[in-house]
Chains A and B, each alone.
Chain A
């Protein structure tokens, strides 16, 4: 049995059998909530390999697009550091750091380039949050 299948079945038991058999309000809510948590975890686990691959592809595409966008200009140091970090780790923390660096260097980039660069980053962020909604919503 897969881990996500097991969690889903445990969630079902908690919500349909254990929870309804409990009279007191607080433990009843806790049993139901445990079921909800396990359901979400199961879906997250099920989608994890697919999502990891998509995220990796998205970040690679983002780095490539930003490389082209920023090629004609002198990139502020803080932004360069953030881009290097993202290229190295390719994770959400580095992506967050890149967004922060964009705002930090907004004046140096100028309004047009800032908007354009942030707009491209936001495409990646939207794709990522839509993936998370597949198990969180």
Chain B
């Protein structure tokens, strides 16, 4: 039995069909096809399918994506599909390419867990950690169109009017060091939820981050994980920015530091396996008018080390507590020292 036919016969699909039919009472003969559960990320279940129906004798078709929160996501309580829905709705009328969000349901009675239904945007999302994905991005880097789109889309994200879009609900940081401190507090809370004792180097890293928090000179929408693998690509351009789990209002250099980070490239000097560093600096600064401050980016890089450790401690903690049986999570216990060793080097030892 193929994965697809298995998914097609899944009782969950019957329930999704019934849900959609209830949401579209005018639709006649609603049916789902091409159902597949895609294995991306460690957070939410993601289902893709095409819905077809008729109204007044006219046939309609809509590609849809359903994300369901199984309750044992890597980010635990910090991941909120309801917030993702609000963000996507707010971004619909901006220049940023994002999927259109249709419905969000928090009631677990419907599909056993909260879920979000959004548009299935045309495009593909090659995995930058796999051999085929790396080859795809290397080839695209040579052609040069996609790297430009990568940078210009980030510039669009950082220059959109978030107040006009209604994104203030994400929390506007006070001037000064509040943004960095809020991030530190957030990842510290995830570490505490893992119920594992902090390693001494992590304590050092957090102490250093608190003592050196930079002041934020401007506040923009920040994606929080802007890299290849979280971006849908269609015809050599970014067709949608995905994975709205870590977004905040804060310093745009937080995203820039993520792009510049060694964490997001493997065996190549190209940022995110795709973009030439020098070209990224030139194009980003020209498009946004923001100067890239290397010291602040180094600080945020250290903050990302703390975040990575928080992720891995959360993941291995979920396995240790019996809340997940996924051995990929158990394996992350050994990722913690690897990240901490790198953080120690960044701190000078």
Contact = CB atoms under 8 A, between A and B. Distances in A.
B327 A33 contact: yes
Interface stretch (B143-151, B195-203, B271-279, B282-290): B195-203
A136 B338 contact: yes
Given A37-B331, A103-B207, A136-B337, A93 B197 contact: yes
A124 B67 CA distance: 45
B109 interface: no
Interface in A26-52: 26, 29-30, 33-34, 36-37, 40
Contact of B334 (A29, A30, A92, A136): A136
Contacts of B340: 129
A26 B200 contact: no
Interface string A126-137: 101110110111
Contact of A25 (B3, B336, B341): B3
Contacts of A100: 203, 207
Contacts of B203: 96-97, 99-100, 103
A68 B284 CA distance: 52
Interface residues of A, number: 36
Contacts of B336: 136
Given A122-B344, A126-B344, A130-B341, A95 B330 contact: no
A40 B199 contact: no
A83 B199 CA distance: 17
Contact of A92 (B197, B211, B338): B197
Nearest to A34: B327
A33 B207 contact: no
A93 B200 CA distance: 7
Contacts of B39: 25-26
Taking chain B's interface residues, is the majority helix, strand, or loop, or is none over half, making it mixed? helix
A33 B338 contact: no
A87 interface: no
Contacts of B204: 99, 118, 121-122, 125
B207 A135 contact: no
Taking chain A's interface residues, is the majority helix, strand, or loop, or is none over half, making it mixed? helix
Interface in B175-213: 197-204, 207, 210-211
Contacts of A26: 39
A136 B340 CA distance: 11
A37 B327 contact: yes
Interface string B315-349: 00000000000111011001111101100100101
Contacts, number: 81
B327 A133 contact: no
B200 to A, nearest CB: 4
A125 B334 contact: no
B341 A129 contact: yes
A42 to B, nearest CB: 12
A37 B207 CA distance: 31
A123 interface: yes
A83 B334 CA distance: 28
Interface string A79-108: 000000000000011011111101100100
B341 A133 contact: yes
Given A33-B331, A100-B207, A135-B334, A128 B326 contact: no
A137 B198 CA distance: 19
A106 B202 CA distance: 17
B44 to A, nearest CB: 16
A37 B39 CA distance: 21
Contacts of A102: 207
A99 to B, nearest CB: 4
A93 B203 CA distance: 10
Nearest to A132: B337
B328 to A, nearest CB: 5
A96 B198 contact: yes
Contacts of B344: 122, 125-126, 129
Best-surrounded residue of B207, B210, B338 (most CB of chain A within 10 A): B207
A36 B3 contact: no
Given A29-B328, A33-B328, 10 more contacts: A96-B202, A97-B203, A99-B200, A100-B203, A103-B210, A118-B204, A125-B349, A129-B341, A133-B337, A136-B336
13 contacts: A30-B327, A92-B197, A92-B199, A96-B200, A100-B203, A125-B200, A128-B200, A129-B201, A129-B340, A129-B341, A132-B337, A132-B341, A137-B338
Interface of A: 24-26, 29-30, 33-34, 36-37, 40, 92-93, 95-100, 102-103, 106, 118-119, 121-123, 125-126, 128-130, 132-133, 135-137
